[in-house]
Structure 1
């Protein structure tokens, strides 16, 4: 166990980021007796309204980071695009940060991410680095088309990526993505998209949730059904992948691993997210200890909690004005409503989610 841990109730957890994930982390922390301080550039952020204190500043603001380090006994983050330099500065100030900087660096660069996964013994689609229109054309020729081009950094919910349908168009696609460094990925001939949520404690212990089956619309996660119907061998394969990643990173906290299931039963890793994950929201009502409490337990050095499913859950994201149907959702006996407190509904914006519960099938 790391020196100074476990933290006792009454300690303060700093969170970089004030969105819905930070909000749900803060709520979980409060239930365990911890205070939360949030650093976010956003005024009236969802997390700030359930936190003890909010520091409104850029993530790389040296004074704000110094204040956060002073106030916090441990610091975590709710999304992976926090500047790596900010985490390094916090560590230089003596503040413990979990997950560690390696996980952040890997997740922020798609080439580094897939390279890391392959080195950890986790298979991915074939890929190539693209730094120019000429390299784009050559990569498309070698990998074949169609292929998916993504910017190496930033981009989420389908943003920052385009399909290359013809090798001759690869250079134009690269330019359409702004000429930023890219990755070209060979297509995965998958039968469905899965994910696994897992945690690693400060003592190296692991806690892995059942796999979920994910469905996207327009590049945005629409729903997750968990536990997914899956043979024991497939579930074991997903658990091994999660364990390999967590151990290789010397990780502390919850991680989300997105997977492709191929027709022959093999799994390929698509992406990792070094944080609590949208596809893990089902655990809030489907498990004894949800992903948010699990993350708090891990970063403060507490024992990890049980991950067995106690219900089958269909998690559905509420986008835009769909959250306006709160009265209808609240009236459904088997539906649990989670709203994020965002002030303005925009098309495609995640405003909340519902978890619809059903009886767990025997053997699951």
Structure 2
């Protein structure tokens, strides 16, 4: 099969209209491509910066055909795009990542089975799909976390359990859908690696990001992660092994747990750019969004070398609410008063608590300089400070 480059000026398609798609569209436009978004939200952040918007559901056959006919290549910006829609598009145009790769990551059990099959380290786990499965659970899996096998993100669809009684209650709470029980491990750090691969088999990884979550949602990412060089090299090596083993084309995020004993465990995969990779825009020669465009157009991948230290702060809709519950517009001039702070707002019309509204990347010539800027920004606008300073 030949992999002729798709040259600038061509139309690229995007399934999904959120902030990841917005930053993809901006990167594509910088490289001279035209973007068509398929998304049912008429006010989608990605649609606001794209030349064309097909306002329809991801399963709309007519809209999929229009997208496939117009675009020489199509990608996605979130993992729960129906695999059937990707298969329909694949009959008309180039689709990356492929439906086969995406479908594996849409089911936690399939994902862990795949990872185990290629020798990637995963936490001890088992399937919970019935009362009999609960009865047969190995006691060594407690305490554990029960996670829905499908459609979980930002900590949703997850309940901690200490015994079979709590497991039964959690299974009922989650609607008795197929779940995975995963043993809780002594966690030291959560980190992630963004990798990219094109159809010619060229693969790259970005520096490891160290991630801090609050209520299951990413709050802070520090790049590079404050881990040993050996751990960083191992995480990047595992990420590259995964992307090659999947024969993946596009951008893939691999989330890891680093345990107290230094062991590295793969937590989960995200077949798209990732929140923890936002800082690559300012922090690296090429961003994760540049790589997404390059991979889907059969272009050579960019250099992922980090050129300045970064601390990325997520901005949630909580920031728009005063203690009394009244809403207001945050003082963005206070952010822009710091010359090393880069503000990214996603153009979402309605600020809601827990909703990702933007991010701030603080940069520096040293890790300390970037962190100092981040702490000052948090003080200035009332963002919670990083817990692990």
Paired with 2:306 and 2:25, the residues of 1 have a C-alpha distance of 23
Paired with 2:296 and 2:68, the residues of 1 have a C-alpha distance of 15
Question: Contact conserved, 2:343 with 2:359, CA < 8 A, in 1?
Answer: yes
Q: How does 1:208-287 map to 2 (within 5 A)?
A: 208-287=205-284
TM-score under structure 2 length normalisation: 0.90
The yes-or-no answer on 1:329 pairing with 2:327 is no
Question: Contact conserved, 1:134 with 1:171, CA < 8 A, in 2?
Answer: no
Q: Secondary structure at the match of 2:357?
A: strand
Q: How does 1:161-180 map to 2 (within 5 A)?
A: 161-180=158-177
Measured against aligned partners, the alpha-carbon deviations of 1:241-262 in whole angstroms (never above 9, x if no partner) come to 1111011111111111000112
TM-fit CA distance, 1:347: 0.3
TM-fit CA distance, 1:282: 1.0
The yes-or-no answer on 1:347 pairing with 2:327 is no
Structure 1 stretches lacking a partner, 5+ long: none
Measured against aligned partners, the alpha-carbon deviations of 1:167-225 in whole angstroms (never above 9, x if no partner) come to 22211110000111111001122211011111112211111111010000011110000
Q: What is the aligned partner in structure 2 of residue 306 from structure 1?
A: 303
Measured against aligned partners, the alpha-carbon deviations of 1:288-323 in whole angstroms (never above 9, x if no partner) come to 111101110111011111111111110010000537
Paired with 2:48 and 2:358, the residues of 1 have a C-alpha distance of 16
Structure 2 stretches lacking a partner, 5+ long: 321-329, 369-389
Question: Contact conserved, 1:136 with 1:184, CA < 8 A, in 2?
Answer: no
Measured against aligned partners, the alpha-carbon deviations of 1:30-78 in whole angstroms (never above 9, x if no partner) come to 0000000000111111010111101111111111110100110100000
Q: What is the aligned partner in structure 2 of residue 46 from structure 1?
A: 45
**Worse-superposed segment, 325-334 or 54-63:** 325-334
Question: Contact conserved, 1:137 with 1:171, CA < 8 A, in 2?
Answer: no
Measured against aligned partners, the alpha-carbon deviations of 1:8-39 in whole angstroms (never above 9, x if no partner) come to 11011100000000100000000000000000
Question: Contact conserved, 1:40 with 1:55, CA < 8 A, in 2?
Answer: yes
Paired with 2:278 and 2:62, the residues of 1 have a C-alpha distance of 34
Measured against aligned partners, the alpha-carbon deviations of 1:146-181 in whole angstroms (never above 9, x if no partner) come to 110011100211111111122222111100001111
Question: Contact conserved, 2:15 with 2:38, CA < 8 A, in 1?
Answer: yes
Q: Secondary structure at the match of 2:156?
A: coil
Work out the number of aligned pairs and report it: 359
Paired with 1:321 and 1:129, the residues of 2 have a C-alpha distance of 36
Change (3 A) 1:325 1:146: farther
Structure 1 counterpart of 2:102, from 101, 104, 127: 104
TM-score under structure 1 length normalisation: 0.96
Paired with 1:244 and 1:102, the residues of 2 have a C-alpha distance of 17
The yes-or-no answer on 1:129 pairing with 2:135 is no
Measured against aligned partners, the alpha-carbon deviations of 1:99-136 in whole angstroms (never above 9, x if no partner) come to 11222111100000111111111010011011113313
Paired with 1:290 and 1:166, the residues of 2 have a C-alpha distance of 44
TM-fit CA distance, 1:86: 0.4
Q: Secondary structure at the match of 2:348?
A: coil
Paired with 1:4 and 1:272, the residues of 2 have a C-alpha distance of 26
Question: Contact conserved, 1:195 with 1:212, CA < 8 A, in 2?
Answer: yes
The root-mean-square deviation of aligned C-alpha atoms, in Å, is: 1.4
Paired with 2:332 and 2:162, the residues of 1 have a C-alpha distance of 41
Q: How does 1:149-168 map to 2 (within 5 A)?
A: 149-168=146-165
Q: How does 1:74-153 map to 2 (within 5 A)?
A: 74-92=73-91, 94-139=92-137, 141-153=138-150
The yes-or-no answer on 1:189 pairing with 2:159 is no
